[in-house]
Amino acid sequence: MTLELLEGHPVHRLASRYYDRDLRIQPVRHDPLYASTLLRSPTHPPLAVGETIADLSGPVFGHLKPGPLDNDLIGNFASGGLALGERIIIHGTVQDQNGRPVPETLIEIWQANAGGRYRHVRDGYLAPLDPNFSGCGRCLTDRDGRYTFKTIRPGPYPFKNGGCAWRPSHIHFSVFGATFTQRLVTQAYFEGDPLIPLCPIANTIKDPRALRTLVATLDMSAAIEFDALAYRFDIVLRGRHATFFENRTEGV
Amino acid sequence: MLPETPAQTAGPYVHIGTFPYAAGLTIGWNARLHELVRDKEPGEHIEINGMIYDGGNAPVTDAMIELWQADTNGGFHRSSFPGWGRAVSDFTTGEWTFRTVRPGPVLRRDGSVMAPHIMLAIFARGVNGHLSTLMYFPDDPDANSRDPILSALEPARRVTLVAKRQPNAEIHSYRFDIFLQGDSETVFFNI
Ligand SMILES: [Fe+2]
């Protein structure tokens, strides 16, 4: 492989460095309060590295045409009825640290039903399955980085952690961003849930301000009359340092 | 500058949203996200499989693994090759598999050349932010020795990133076991 051949990659010249991930706002990896981390957290700190293929590019899903019900979890598994529970909209924006919207990026969500049970072959919790609810949704952000899902508010559920441990109501979010460096998997909690301060998983994030950014807030302006309450959950992915390439300004 | 949204564990039911078929669901993605190639895809087709072991040497059986790589020429999005895939640890054995093409070397903006490699990201219960590692190939030690990332590691840790060739009559096959802790703990990067 010669260098001339390699130099034909316009995407490489466009890429500029991302801000380093601020590990102080991230969850700790090893946390005695969350038992599953004990044998699953590497003992070496994550190694700083220069540019990787994650900075250069990432998977694109613009060709993916999500179905009309992919972001409607009340309807996308309906078999003769609708999902049980408190009907909600969860919506927001995806932007980078420089405040630029992230358009056409794939968001996937998964969640328990109103009773706190997941539709998963491995979940055996007492609460029954809802025949009309899968807990699986996805959508692409629009050109302004906005997304919206219609769903039901998931119930809390207990989990094995040694002792009486309960998850607050939460929705799992997976977001891609423009390059793999921006990849994010996280969880959205609900404003006012008294289980949040008690949850060993939520509290792997030690910075209270950072944890607050994972709490979706009641947003009556987006509620639908006689249909659904609304919660707002905005997402911020890593941003890039400013640089100029091919007459385009990147970053601030 | 806005603070980044922090990560949280993907949990044991990650499959519902990211690999619904494995969760027993029939909506969303289909089952074949671990196969990046169809028969006619240009380049050398390869198979990669492995296990993820926890600190007690038990296989992790609830992980979702994402793959990101260049195409056979070291580029991205220049053909139908997606460069991206997902696999699931088998719920009983922990074994995961990808079918893909051997990537070409990739040029960095500073002019250095990265040896052919594949990026893997692990999402699982007890993993609070995904773990990123890089898998290199054993067949090209010269390219590996010039790789800017691999060559900066001390030899004892470098070996954790090099896959092993394994016999397979049909396809070039590599094994890449990942160790979350212990003497042979895999190198994970702050990516
Ligand atoms: Fe959960």
* Distances, alpha carbon A146 to alpha carbons A38, A94, A101, A233, B135, in Å: 37, 6, 8, 10, 35
* Bridge partner residues of A174 (DSSP): A108, A185
Catalytic, A231? Answer: no
Domains, chain B, in order of start with CATH, read 6-179 (2.60.130.10)
Q: Residue A55 class from Cβ within 10 Å (0-12 exposed, 13-18 middle, 19+ buried)?
A: buried
Q: What is the ipTM of this complex?
A: 0.96
Shortest alpha-carbon distance between residue B98 and chain A (Å)? 16
Confidence class for position A15, pLDDT limits 50, 70, 90: low
pLDDT at A11: 42
Kindly report the CATH number assigned to the domain that includes residue A19: 2.60.130.10
Q: Average pLDDT, stretch A192-211?
A: 98
- Which residue, among B86, B110, B114, has the nearest Cα to B100 in the 3D structure? B86
- Which residue, among A196, A184, A168, has the nearest Cα to A108 in the 3D structure? A184
For the entire predicted model, the pTM comes to 0.94
Put simply, the answer to whether B16 touches A110 (Cβ < 8 Å) is yes
Domain assignment present for residue A246? The answer is no
- Which residue, among B61, B69, B109, B112, has the nearest Cα to B89 in the 3D structure? B61
> Given a cut of 50, is residue A250 above it in pLDDT?
no
Domain assignment present for residue A244? The answer is no
> Given a cut of 70, is residue A249 above it in pLDDT?
no
pLDDT at B169: 86
Structure tokens that stand for A78 in this block? 């309906």
Whether B165 and B171 have beta carbons less than 8 Å apart is answered as no
Put simply, the answer to whether B16 touches A119 (Cβ < 8 Å) is yes
Count of domains forming chain A:
1
Q: CA-nearest residue of chain A to B4?
A: A236
Helix ranges (DSSP H) in B40-115: none
In degrees rounded to 5, what are phi and psi of residue A218? -60, 130
**CA A7, A9, A11, A12: dihedral to nearest 10 degrees?**
-30
User: For A172, which of B3, B11, B114 is closest by C-beta distance?
Assistant: B11
Angle at B44 between CA B177 and CA A54, to 5 degrees: 60
Length of chain B: 191
pLDDT at B105: 97
Catalytic, A30? Answer: no
Domain assignment present for residue A218? The answer is yes
pLDDT at A16: 66
Q: How far is CA A83 from the centre of its chain?
A: 22
Segment A182-197, tens digit of pLDDT: 999 999 999 999 999 9
Segment A85-135, tens digit of pLDDT: 999 999 999 999 999 999 999 999 999 999 999 999 999 999 999 999 999
B-chain CB neighbours of A44 within 8 Å are 185, 187-188
Q: CA-nearest residue of chain B to A15?
A: B109
Q: Which amino acid is at A84?
A: L
Put simply, the answer to whether B17 touches A110 (Cβ < 8 Å) is yes
CB pairs under 8 A between A and B: 269
Domain assignment present for residue A54? The answer is no
In degrees rounded to 5, what are phi and psi of residue A202? -55, -40
Whole-number percent of chain A with pLDDT over 70: 90
Q: What is the largest CA-CA distance in chain B?
A: 54
> Given a cut of 70, is residue A83 above it in pLDDT?
yes
**How far apart, in whole angstroms, are the C-alpha atoms of residue A111 and residue A43?**
30
**How far apart, in whole angstroms, are the C-alpha atoms of residue B73 and residue B63?**
30
**How far apart, in whole angstroms, are the C-alpha atoms of residue B87 and residue B81?**
17
- Residue span of the structural domain in which A94 resides: 2-41+59-236
Put simply, the answer to whether B24 touches A120 (Cβ < 8 Å) is yes
In degrees rounded to 5, what are phi and psi of residue B156? -65, -30
Q: How far is CA B123 from the centre of its chain?
A: 11
Chosen from B90, B109, B119, B127 to mutate, greatest number of chain A CBs within 10 A: B109
* Distances, alpha carbon B137 to alpha carbons B34, B61, B171, in Å: 19, 25, 15
**How far apart, in whole angstroms, are the C-alpha atoms of residue B8 and residue A201?**
8
Residues 6+ apart with CB under 8 A from A246: A10, A13, A14
In terms of pLDDT, which residue wins out, A227 or B169? A227
**How far apart, in whole angstroms, are the C-alpha atoms of residue A128 and residue A185?**
27
* Distances, alpha carbon B42 to alpha carbons A15, A56, B140, in Å: 26, 22, 20
Put simply, the answer to whether B75 touches A137 (Cβ < 8 Å) is no
Catalytic, A34? Answer: no
> Given a cut of 80, is residue A243 above it in pLDDT?
no
Q: Which residues surround ligand 1, an ion (CB under 5 A)?
A: B 11
Residue A110 three-state SS: strand
pLDDT at B28: 78
**How far apart, in whole angstroms, are the C-alpha atoms of residue B184 and residue B169?**
29
Domain assignment present for residue A46? The answer is no
**How far apart, in whole angstroms, are the C-alpha atoms of residue B85 and residue B39?**
16
Residue ranges for chain B with pLDDT beneath 50 = none
The string of DSSP letters for A41-104 reads S-SSPPBP-S--HHHH-----TT----TTTTBTTTTT-SSS---S-EEEEEEEEEETTS-B-TT
Active-site pick, A167, A189, A231, A238: A167
Domain assignment present for residue A248? The answer is no
Domain assignment present for residue A78? The answer is yes
Active-site pick, A87, A91, A117, A118: A118
